[in-house]
C-alpha cells in the first residue's frame, strides 16, 4: 500500500487554497469587524482576520490600508467617522454631535474637577512624574481620590519608582489615555496652555453612563507655597 493513500484505497484529500478576497468584500469585512469590536483594532489584528491566501501575499497590508482609506472617505458627511488612535482604528460619533447624542442617556455626564484635569495634564506633559512632582508644580496637595480615579480609568499607570527616600511611584499615561482623547501619540498633544480645554471637550464628547462624577475633597495649599494657582493657567 502506498504510504500517502487513505484507508480503503481513497486518495488523500488536499485542501483547496484560499482565494484572494476582492476589495469590496475586504472593505465589508473590515467595516463589520470595526462595528463589532469594543475597542480599536490595529492593522495587525485586522490582518489576523484573514486566512493564508485571502490577502495578497506581498500587498496584504497595502490592501488593508486602502480599504480603511475607502471606509474613512465613506464617512464624510455622516454622523460618525473612522479615526485612528494609539491602539488602532475605530468608528465613533463625531465630537460636534455629542450635545445631542448625550441626550440618549438620562444620567448626567461625568464632570471632572479642575484639579483632576490639571493633574492628568501634568502627568501627560511631564511624565514620568511622582505625586510630589505634581504637588510642587501645582502648589497644592494632590488628593488620593484624584490619583485613584485616574488609575481606575486606566488613563495613568505606575511606570517605575524614583531612586529617592521612600521610593515614590513614577506615573505616566497609558495607551487607553491616548485612545480616549483621540490621540495617536503624545506628539499630538497641543501646547500646554490649551490642554485643559482639550481634556474637558474630549471628556464631554466621550461621556457614557458608566462613568461617574469624580468628587474631590477641597485642596490644601502645599507647605511653603504662596500661590495655590495652577501651572497650566
Query: Hey, do 23-93 and 114-205 end up sharing a CATH topology, with the first three levels equal?
Result: yes
State the pLDDT at residue 217. Answer: 47
User: Tell me: the pLDDT tens digits for 34-74?
Assistant: 999 999 999 999 999 999 899 987 788 999 999 999 999 99
Instruction: Give buried/exposed letters for 138-150 (b at 16+ CB in 10 A, else e).
Output: bbbbbbeebbebb
Contact 214, 207 (CB under 8 A): no
pLDDT score recorded for residue 223? 44
Q: What is the pLDDT of residues 78-127, one digit of tens each?
A: 999 999 999 999 999 998 998 898 888 776 656 788 889 889 999 999 99
Q: Mind listing the pLDDT tens digit for each residue in 165-207?
A: 889 999 999 999 999 988 999 999 887 767 766 676 666 665 5
The residue among 50, 35, 23 whose CA lies nearest residue 82 is: 35
User: For the residues 206-231, what does the mean pLDDT come to?
Assistant: 42
Instruction: Give the Cα separation of 121 and 189 in Å (integer).
Output: 10
Annotation: CATH topology of 23-93: Arc Repressor Mutant, subunit A (1.10.10)
Residue 103 confidence (pLDDT): 85
**The pLDDT of residue 112:** 80
Q: What is the pLDDT at residue 228?
A: 33
Residue 51 has which C-alpha cell? 486566512
pLDDT at 97: 92
Predicted local distance difference test score (pLDDT) of residue 173: 96
Q: Where are the domains of the chain?
A: 23-93, 114-205
Fold of 114-205: Arc Repressor Mutant, subunit A (1.10.10)
Q: What is the DSSP string of 124-167?
A: HHH-SB-HHHHHHHHSBPPPHHHHHHHHHTTSEEEEEE-SSTT-
Amino acid at each position: 500500500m502506498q504510504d500517502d493513500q487513505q484507508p480503503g484505497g481513497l486518495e488523500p484529500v488536499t485542501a483547496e487554497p484560499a482565494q484572494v478576497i476582492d476589495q469590496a468584500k475586504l472593505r465589508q469585512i473590515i467595516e463589520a469587524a470595526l462595528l463589532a469590536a469594543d475597542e480599536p483594532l490595529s492593522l495587525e489584528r485586522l490582518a489576523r482576520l484573514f486566512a493564508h491566501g485571502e490577502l495578497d501575499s506581498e500587498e496584504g497590508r497595502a490592501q488593508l490600508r486602502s480599504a480603511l482609506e475607502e471606509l474613512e472617505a465613506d464617512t464624510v458627511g455622516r454622523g460618525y467617522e473612522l479615526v485612528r488612535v494609539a491602539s488602532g482604528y475605530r468608528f465613533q460619533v463625531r465630537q460636534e454631535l455629542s450635545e445631542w447624542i448625550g441626550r440618549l442617556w438620562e444620567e448626567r455626564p461625568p464632570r471632572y474637577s479642575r484639579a483632576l484635569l490639571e493633574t492628568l495634564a501634568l502627568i501627560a506633559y511631564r511624565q514620568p512624574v511622582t505625586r510630589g512632582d505634581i504637588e510642587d508644580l501645582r502648589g497644592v496637595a494632590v488628593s488620593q481620590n484624584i490619583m485613584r480615579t485616574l488609575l481606575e480609568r486606566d488613563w495613568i499607570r505606575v511606570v517605575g519608582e524614583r531612586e529617592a527616600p521612600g521610593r515614590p511611584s513614577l506615573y505616566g499615561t497609558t495607551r487607553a489615555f491616548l485612545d480616549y482623547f483621540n490621540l495617536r501619540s503624545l506628539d499630538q498633544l497641543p501646547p500646554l496652555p490649551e490642554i485643559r480645554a482639550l481634556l474637558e471637550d474630549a471628556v464631554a464628547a466621550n461621556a457614557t453612563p458608566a462613568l461617574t462624577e469624580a468628587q474631590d475633597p477641597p485642596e490644601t495649599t502645599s507647605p511653603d507655597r504662596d500661590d495655590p494657582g495652577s501651572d497650566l493657567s
